[in-house]
Amino acid sequence: MSIWGIYSCFYDLSLRNLFPYRQLLDDLTRALEVKGGERILDAGCGPGAVIERVIKENRGKTISVVGVDFSRGMIGRARKRCMKLPDVRLQVADLNRKLEFPDNSFDKVVCSNVLYALENPEKVLSEFYRVLKPGAAVVIANPKPNAGERELVREHLRTLRRLSPFHRRAYHMIVSILLIPVNLVVTTINKIILTRARNREYHFLDKGSLSRILQEVRFRNISISSCYADQCWLVRAEKWESGQDGEDRVSDS
Ligand SMILES: C[S@@+](CC[C@H](N)C(=O)[O-])C[C@H]1O[C@@H](n2cnc3c(N)ncnc32)[C@H](O)[C@@H]1O
């Protein structure tokens, strides 16, 4: 079983209570700028938290979402979570291979904390580019080179201290304490991930490299900002509209 199979048993329980992760879901959803009628691909959907948030935040708009992940454990959890949500399709697929979707078939692609674990990020981004419709956008979260857990925990505790009234804060403190055993497993898996990143097996990319790769794939209107307690980059970039010309614009925020 891969680390993702093991992670699927603990990931959701640990992260759904982590305040920076909730903020990340908000940031991704906002960056997607979903409109009615859109078809969205969640590449590496894990247990489906992004899909759930995007659909709930866009109630009243008819959107359809396809979630893919190569871990059967993750897809199983996503299926349970999204059972009652309209128009969600979940399937097992390896992002290191060519996507089975036709060219120009999605209005948005979201890929949260997955790109780093793939063999060749540039090849995968080219696949995202291929399946996006002209003018459509990709939204990515990917760890910064020095990303770690410490700042996530600090930010979680800072938010916890700001919570009021008292019983809400007490509830979250108790949940945080009860989750210590789960978080120990998650911390161990994160150590494996960090070791792989240090060994360059995983791709924790700096801003310049991310920007360069996106430009090489021909994305335009690239914006890269910080998210997830400053541990990740939040990227939004668009596919060229047919017939467009001019300079690519890269913006810092
Ligand atoms: C850290 S989790 C992120 C899950 C979800 N996107 C989120 O933000 O909550 C990374 C996910 O990438 C998936 N993944 C890793 N390598 C993959 C591959 N080659 N093809 C498809 N999914 C992959 C894992 O199974 C796992 O669900």
Checking if the pLDDT of 165 tops 90, the result is: no
130 in a domain, yes or no? yes
From atom 1 of ligand 1, which residue's Cα is the shortest distance away? 113
Do the Cβ atoms of 78 and 2 come closer than 8 Å? no
Do the Cβ atoms of 171 and 13 come closer than 8 Å? no
159 in a domain, yes or no? no
The percent of residues above 90 in pLDDT, for the chain, comes to 77
151 in a domain, yes or no? no
Checking if the pLDDT of 53 tops 70, the result is: yes
Ligand 1 atom closest to Cα of 42?
6
Per-residue pLDDT, 174: 81
From atom 26 of ligand 1, which residue's Cα is the shortest distance away? 46
138 in a domain, yes or no? yes
Per-residue pLDDT, 244: 63
Checking if the pLDDT of 180 tops 90, the result is: no
109 in a domain, yes or no? yes
Which amino acid is it at 178? L
Which amino acid is it at 34? V
pLDDT per residue over 69-100, tens digit each? 999 999 999 999 999 999 999 999 999 999 99
Residue 220 domain boundaries: 18-146+203-252
pTM: 0.93
Checking if the pLDDT of 186 tops 90, the result is: no
Question: Residue 56 maps to which CATH number?
Answer: 3.40.50.150
Cα(169) to centroid(ligand 1), Å: 31
10 in a domain, yes or no? no
Per-residue pLDDT, 75: 98
- Rounded CA-CA distance 40/3 in Å is 27
Per-residue pLDDT, 247: 47
What are the Cα distances from residue 63, in Å, to 83, 101, 238? 16, 17, 19
What is the average pLDDT across 49-72? 96
From atom 24 of ligand 1, which residue's Cα is the shortest distance away? 4
What is the average pLDDT across 143-155? 94
Cα(239) to centroid(ligand 1), Å: 23
12 in a domain, yes or no? no
Confidence at 179, pLDDT banded by 50, 70, 90: confident
197 in a domain, yes or no? no
Q: What is the number of domains present in the chain?
A: 1
- Residues with a CB atom less than 6 Å from ligand 1: 4, 44-46, 49-50, 69-71, 74, 94-96, 112-114, 117-118
